[in-house]
A and B are shown apart, each in its own frame.
Chain A
Amino acid sequence: MQGAGSLPAVRIDDVDPDDAGLFWLRSAEPGISVERVGDGVLLRSASLSTGEIADAWLCASLNERLLTSARDRRRATLADLLS
Chain B
Amino acid sequence: MATGFPVKPLELVDVPWHNAVGGFRIADTTVVGAGTGWTFSSIPQTFKHLLLLWVASTTGTADDQVGLRINSVSTANYHHQQLQGLGTGASAGEGLLTTFGQVSFLPGSTGRTDAKYGSAGVVLFPGYSLAGSFPTWVSRSDFTKTASTGGSRAWLYGGALQSSAQAITTIQLFSGGGVNITPGSRATLYGLT
A, B bound: no
Q: Footprint of A on B, CB under 8 Å?
A: none
Residue numbers of A with Cβ under 8 A of B are none
